[in-house]
């Protein structure tokens, strides 16, 4: 039933589309809906009355949960204000796992604390069957002296050479700040944000469905990581941009047998269970504790070039 939609970016209304899918057919669903903040989309009007907006959200959230497999997860990205309403809906339908705080400063609002994170709600369709993999990100270092930023005290002999396990606060992925790296879309997410979500919640060949595909971030992440996708957008222009970008992508984000998320040609997220397969591809310091001042590097023959993507961000200076 879903075969004809696999690896397609589809022009249409996501609720109408999802209604025609059977129960329990998708491995993970990820949504980055319009924030109802008056953003300037090509066609969509982002200024519904609050009750209309929430009523509409309840409909697509219910469909997302219905079509997600019992082993699958439901992810929704938004500003904290709307996530509080979504959580009420999701608590009735699925099982709370995390509120991921994605540290990403936004514009000052005045008369409030400075908003500095987006949230990603992470729910399991069925908590006992839920598929989850621990993931790691590279150690953070001082850009001047190269030493680890975190003080591990006397525990440096036990450091993981690649980096710590990812927590529910994500500070190492930055928004796309420069117009020259974005498509003509007001709310494009970074690809490696979606790659992290996909690596921790799916296996190769699993299917990711995104009801608000925009210019294709989740579809590109899925394709790069050897997963399948279904993306829907109400705006044909965005669907066409997505398709054009996908045509230039390969399923090649790999080191040895393991799928890996890259950013600026360096591994940005790996799965913990893949480390044994990955370790030989890195040059490691002589002693583990030297990780404190010696960065592990990918051996030259594993260098990964992503020439097809224009989505590069300027790395943040710490």
36 binds ligand SAM (CB under 6 A): no
Name the minimum Å distance from CB 153 to ligand SAM.
40
**Calpha distance 144→126 (Å, rounded):** 46
Q: If binding means CB under 6 A, how many residues of this protein chain bind ligand SAM?
A: 21
**Of the residues 41, 86, 123, 259, which one makes contact with ligand SAM according to CB under 6 A:** 41
C-alpha 38: how far from chain center:
24
201 binds ligand SAM (CB under 6 A): no
Stretch that binds ligand SAM, among 27-35, 104-112, 164-172, 200-208 (CB under 6 A): 27-35
**Residues present in the chain in total:** 318
Bridge-based pairing state of the strands 8-11 and 228-233: parallel
Stretch that binds ligand SAM, among 65-73, 94-102, 227-235, 249-257 (CB under 6 A): 227-235
| Crossing angle of helices 217-224 and 191-201, rounded to 10° | 50
Question: DSSP string covering 151-189, please?
Answer: --GGGGGG--SS-PBP-SEE-S------GGGS-S-TTPP
Toward ligand SAM, which CB reaches closer, 159 or 222?
Answer: 222
290 binds ligand SAM (CB under 6 A): no
Name the minimum Å distance from CB 5 to ligand SAM.
14
Name the minimum Å distance from CB 202 to ligand SAM.
17
32 binds ligand SAM (CB under 6 A): yes
Tokens 């990812």 -> residue: 166
238 binds ligand SAM (CB under 6 A): yes
Stretch that binds ligand SAM, among 212-220, 278-286, 294-302, 307-315 (CB under 6 A): 212-220
Stretch that binds ligand SAM, among 150-158, 161-169, 208-216, 252-260 (CB under 6 A): 208-216
Backbone angles phi, psi at 232, to 5 degrees: -130, 140
117 binds ligand SAM (CB under 6 A): no
**Of the residues 65, 199, 230, 232, which one makes contact with ligand SAM according to CB under 6 A:** 232
**Of the residues 5, 9, 14, 263, which one makes contact with ligand SAM according to CB under 6 A:** 14
**Of the residues 28, 76, 135, 187, which one makes contact with ligand SAM according to CB under 6 A:** 187
Toward ligand SAM, which CB reaches closer, 2 or 296?
Answer: 2
**Calpha distance 109→102 (Å, rounded):** 18
Strands (E), the chain: 8-11, 26-31, 68-78, 95-103, 117-124, 135-136, 169-170, 207-210, 228-233, 254-255, 258-259, 261-263, 266-271, 282-283, 297-298
13 binds ligand SAM (CB under 6 A): yes
**Calpha distance 125→66 (Å, rounded):** 9
226 binds ligand SAM (CB under 6 A): no
Structure tokens belonging to residue 126: 């069925």
CB 259 within 8 A of CB 240: no
64 binds ligand SAM (CB under 6 A): no
181 binds ligand SAM (CB under 6 A): no
Considering just the CA atoms, what is the radius of gyration of the chain in Å? 20
CB 41 within 8 A of CB 223: no
**Of the residues 217, 253, 261, 311, which one makes contact with ligand SAM according to CB under 6 A:** 217
Binders of ligand SAM among 90-109, rule CB under 6 A? Answer: none
Measuring CA to CA, how many Å separate 2 from each of 16, 189, 238, 290? Answer: 15, 26, 22, 51
Q: Which residues would be at the binding site for ligand SAM (CB under 6 A)?
A: 13-14, 32-34, 41, 44, 185, 187-189, 211-212, 214-215, 217, 232-235, 238
């Amino acid at each position: 039933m879903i075969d004809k939609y696999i690896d397609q970016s589809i022009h249409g209304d996501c609720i109408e589309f999802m209604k025609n899918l059977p129960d329990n057919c998708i491995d993970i669903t990820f949504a980055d809906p319009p924030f109802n903040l008056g953003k300037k989309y090509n066609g969509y009007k982002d200024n519904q009355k609050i009750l209309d907006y929430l009523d509409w959200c309840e409909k697509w959230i219910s469909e997302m949960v219905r079509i997600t497999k019992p082993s699958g997860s439901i992810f929704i990205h938004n500003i904290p204000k709307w996530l509080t309403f979504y959580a009420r809906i999701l608590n009735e339908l699925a099982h709370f796992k995390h509120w991921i705080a994605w540290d990403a400063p936004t514009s000052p609002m005045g008369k409030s604390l400075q908003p500095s994170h987006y949230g990603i709600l992470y729910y399991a369709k069925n908590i006992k069957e839920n598929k989850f993999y621990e993931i790691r990100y590279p150690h953070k270092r001082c850009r001047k002296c190269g030493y680890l930023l975190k003080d591990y005290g006397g525990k440096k002999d036990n450091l993981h050479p690649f980096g710590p396990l990812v927590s529910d606060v994500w500070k190492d992925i930055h928004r796309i700040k420069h117009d020259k790296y974005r498509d003509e879309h007001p709310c494009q997410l970074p690809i490696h944000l979606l790659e992290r979500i996909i690596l921790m919640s799916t296996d190769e060949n699993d299917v990711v469905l995104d009801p608000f595909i925009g210019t294709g971030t989740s579809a590109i992440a899925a394709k790069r990581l050897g997963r399948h996708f279904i993306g829907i957008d109400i705006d044909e222009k965005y669907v066409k941009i997505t398709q054009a970008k996908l045509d230039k992508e390969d399923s090649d984000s790999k080191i040895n047998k393991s799928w890996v998320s890259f950013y600026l040609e360096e591994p940005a997220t790996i799965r913990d269970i893949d480390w044994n397969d990955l370790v030989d591809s890195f040059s490691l310091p002589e002693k583990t504790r030297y990780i404190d001042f010696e960065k592990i590097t990918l051996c030259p023959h594993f260098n990964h070039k992503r020439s097809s993507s224009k989505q590069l961000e300027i790395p943040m200076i710490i």
